[in-house]
Amino acid sequence: MAFKIRDVNAFYNEKQALKSVNLEIQECSVTAIIGPSGCGKSTFIRCLNRMNDLVPMFRVEGEMLYNGMNIYSRDLDITELRRRIGMVFQKPNPFPKSIYENVAYGLRIQGINKRNILHKVVEESLRKAALWEEVKDRLNASALTLSGGQQQRLCIARAIATEPEAILFDEPCSALDPVATAKIEDLITELKKEYTVVIVTHNMQQAARVSEFTGFFMMGELIEFNITRKIFTAPSNKMTEDYITGRFG
Amino acid sequence: MTREAYHKSLKDVQDEVLKMADMVGKALKDSMEALKQRDLEVSKRIIENDVLINRIRFDIEDKCLLLIATQQPMAVDLRMLAAVINIITDLERIGDHAEGIAKINISIGTEPMVKPLVDIPRMAEKGISMLDRCMKAFVNRDIEAARAICNEDDEVDALYDQTYRELLLVMIENPRTIQGATYLIWAAHNLERTADRVTNIAERIVFMVTGKMEEMNVSKY
């Protein structure tokens, strides 16, 4: 298991956002997190690489392990954690730099500046993100000239460049059109061969299409966690069924 | 995100299935009555009306496919639509069995019956009752009732065995009855298959509710 989450509670000030969450996330697989707005799914995924540390008054209780390492340990190097567990956000957020420099950025801040290494990593990362063929002739163009779908794949390439082990996707397609969405979904299916993928999505069909495991959150609680096929054809919990069939939410 | 229009469409599909089951049940009842009364006009009408049963089957199938394509049904809704597509296939075939009995009646024409009809009407009555209760189980999502209906198929099979044996004896005793007796064996066979198809429908109801496909009564034929 890549992630082991035991009895996790999370709070924004007094407001409890996660309640006794227990789950395990398998290595080299895609795990989808679904649930209505405000159910805690983004809070949950952002705990996995401590993105919530930046939120004032946020605190977390319980145990979150990544390959046996305590994610919330005081002496943990958070930059190193986020290198190992990368993240792609809802809105593509390329830096206002060239396509090349966006991908090379993570390496440069690690002090890697050798051109041949950077060239190699940039090309490999762009290839893995299924973007190389579209940008190979304009690597020095601004990343902001790319379409939304291309920008999102660039962000994925940027995450891959630092050789992470897991990638967290927080609604990666909600700002994209259907064609760009399909490309990202195909890419996620490719990525799981090498990386552990966790994806938060509002789009249940997307969860059904790309993931092997699905967790359904409601009001901070993990209501059901199971293999995706089971969740979308015959869920065990009535609340899950009511949510995915549109009877509430 | 409650989806009222979508859920109304699912309910409409269910209502259409019930309407189709009514048409099929009536065809079956009328075909048996016509055989008993030797009413060839009613039999002709059943044959003509079978096209209406076929049409409603394709209408329902279209509606199911449209809902799958446009609404991405999941879980219990998806299972219901999958079950419906199978249920209407079985209903349509029961309609064909009713049509088959009507054709047999026309083939017998004005010839006298080789023996009085006793067990064949019983088979029809049992089949119609099974179908009727099966559709109630469909509406009520009642898996216990559905399972019980599957067990009743054995009674229809037993009646079929009995009818077959009796007609065999009739033929042995008087070879001139062979044609008339064969017609009745065909009629009984249509009814035996009807009960099998009701069993299939009951199995789909169990699947629709539980998500598990169980073969609950394997026909001996």
Report, as an integer, the average pLDDT of A126-144.
Answer: 95
Compute the nearest-CA separation of A35 from chain B (Å). 12
- pLDDT band (50, 70, 90) for residue B25: very high
- Structural domain includes residue B215: no
Compute the nearest-CA separation of A40 from chain B (Å). 18
Q: Would you state the pLDDT for residue B81?
A: 97
Q: What is the DSSP string of chain B?
A: ---HHHHHHHHHHHHHHHHHHHHHHHHHHHHHHHHHHT-HHHHHHHHHHHHHHHHHHHHHHHHHHHHHHHH---HHHHHHHHHHHHHHHHHHHHHHHHHHHHHHHHHHTTSPPSS--SHHHHHHHHHHHHHHHHHHHHHHT-HHHHHHHHHHHHHHHHHHHHHHHHHHHHHHH-GGGHHHHHHHHHHHHHHHHHHHHHHHHHHHHHHHHHS----------
Q: Is the pLDDT of residue B113 over 80?
A: yes
Q: Which tokens belong to B153?
A: 């198929």
Q: What is the pLDDT of residues A35-50, one digit of tens each?
A: 999 999 999 999 999 9
Q: What is the pLDDT of residues B150-168, one digit of tens each?
A: 999 999 999 999 999 999 9
For residue B78, give the CATH number of its domain: 1.20.58.220
Q: Is A244 helix (H, G, I), strand (E, B) or coil?
A: helix
Q: Would you state the pLDDT for residue B175?
A: 94
Cβ-proximal residues to B201 (8 Å cutoff; 6+ apart), any chain: B86, B87, B90, B91, B131, B134, B138
**Residue with more model confidence, B219 or A219:** A219
- Structural domain includes residue B50: yes
- Structural domain includes residue A249: no
Q: Would you state the pLDDT for residue B214?
A: 83
Q: Is the pLDDT of residue B1 over 60?
A: no
For residue A20, give the CATH number of its domain: 3.40.50.300
Across the interface, whether the CB atoms of A233 and B74 are under 8 A apart is answered: yes
% chain A with pLDDT above 70:
100
- Please name the residue of chain A whose CA is at the shortest distance from the CA of residue B211: A234
Q: Where does A82-241 show beta strands of DSSP type E?
A: 85-88, 166-170, 196-200, 213-218, 221-227
- Structural domain includes residue B216: no
Q: How does A51-90 read in b/e, with b if 16+ C-beta sit within 10 Å?
A: bbeeeeebebebebbbeeeebbeeeeeeeebbbbbbbbeb
What mean pLDDT value characterizes chain B? 95
Residues of chain B positioned with their CB less than 8 A from the CB of A223? none
The partner residues of A218 in beta bridges, in order of sequence, read A221
Report, as an integer, the average pLDDT of A5-22.
Answer: 96
Fill in the amino acid letter for A23: L
Residues of chain B positioned with their CB less than 8 A from the CB of A241? 75-76
Q: Would you state the pLDDT for residue B209?
A: 96
Q: How many domains are contained in chain B?
A: 1
Q: How many domains are contained in chain A?
A: 1
Q: Would you state the pLDDT for residue B23?
A: 98
Q: Is the pLDDT of residue A203 over 70?
A: yes
Confirm whether pTM is higher than 0.80: yes
Report, as an integer, the average pLDDT of A63-77.
Answer: 94
Q: Is the pLDDT of residue A150 over 60?
A: yes
- pLDDT band (50, 70, 90) for residue A94: very high
Q: Which tokens belong to B133?
A: 């209760």
- Interchain CB contact of A79 with B (< 8 Å): no
- Please name the residue of chain B whose CA is at the shortest distance from the CA of residue A233: B75
- Please name the residue of chain A whose CA is at the shortest distance from the CA of residue B79: A233
Q: Would you state the pLDDT for residue A156?
A: 94
Across the interface, whether the CB atoms of A245 and B1 are under 8 A apart is answered: no
Q: How does B16-25 read in b/e, with b if 16+ C-beta sit within 10 Å?
A: bbeebbebbb
Tokens 């991908």 appear where? A103
Question: What angle, rounded to 10 degrees, do the helices at B75-108 and B4-37 form?
Answer: 20
Q: Would you state the pLDDT for residue B219?
A: 66
The partner residue sitting opposite B75, judged by closest CB among A36, A235, A248, is A235
Cβ-proximal residues to A104 (8 Å cutoff; 6+ apart), any chain: A118, A121, A122, A161
Q: How far apart are CA A170 and CA A174, in angstroms?
A: 9
Q: Would you state the pLDDT for residue A54?
A: 86
Report, as an integer, the average pLDDT of A178-198.
Answer: 92
- Please name the residue of chain A whose CA is at the shortest distance from the CA of residue B77: A245
Torsion, CA A185, CA A186, CA A188, CA A189, rounded to 10: 120
The partner residue sitting opposite B211, judged by closest CB among A204, A234, A244, is A234
Across the interface, whether the CB atoms of B211 and A205 are under 8 A apart is answered: no
Residues of chain A positioned with their CB less than 8 A from the CB of B4? none
Q: Would you state the pLDDT for residue B221?
A: 65
Q: Would you state the pLDDT for residue B50?
A: 97
Q: How far apart are CA A62 and CA A153, in angstroms?
A: 34
- Count Cα neighbours of B136 within 13 Å in the Cβ-side half-sphere: 11
Q: Is the pLDDT of residue A72 over 90?
A: yes
The partner residue sitting opposite A233, judged by closest CB among B1, B6, B75, is B75
The contact set of B with A (CB < 8 A) is 1-3, 6-7, 72-79, 210-212
DSSP-derived pairing of the beta strands A196-200 and A166-170 = parallel
- Structural domain includes residue B41: yes
Q: Which has the closest alpha carbon to B188: B168, B217, B166, B159?
A: B159
Q: Which has the closest alpha carbon to B91: B157, B173, B28, B8?
A: B28
Report, as an integer, the average pLDDT of A150-169.
Answer: 95
Q: Would you state the pLDDT for residue A176?
A: 85
| ipTM (interface pTM) | 0.74
What mean pLDDT value characterizes chain A? 94
Q: Which has the closest alpha carbon to A125: A143, A107, A147?
A: A107
Fill in the amino acid letter for A139: L
- Structural domain includes residue B221: no
Q: Would you state the pLDDT for residue B208?
A: 96
| Residues of the domain holding B206 | 4-210
Compute the nearest-CA separation of B183 from chain A (Å). 46
Lowest mean pLDDT among A221-225, B43-47, B53-57, B210-214: B210-214
CB-CB contact of B28 with B124 (8 Å): yes
The partner residues of A226 in beta bridges, in order of sequence, read A214
Q: Would you state the pLDDT for residue A114?
A: 95
- Structural domain includes residue A240: yes
Residues of chain A positioned with their CB less than 8 A from the CB of B212? 234
Residues of chain A positioned with their CB less than 8 A from the CB of B78? 232-233
| Residues of the domain holding A190 | 3-244
% chain B with pLDDT above 70:
98
Across the interface, whether the CB atoms of A205 and B72 are under 8 A apart is answered: yes
Q: How far apart are CA A145 and CA B83, in angstroms?
A: 50
- Structural domain includes residue B218: no
- Structural domain includes residue B220: no
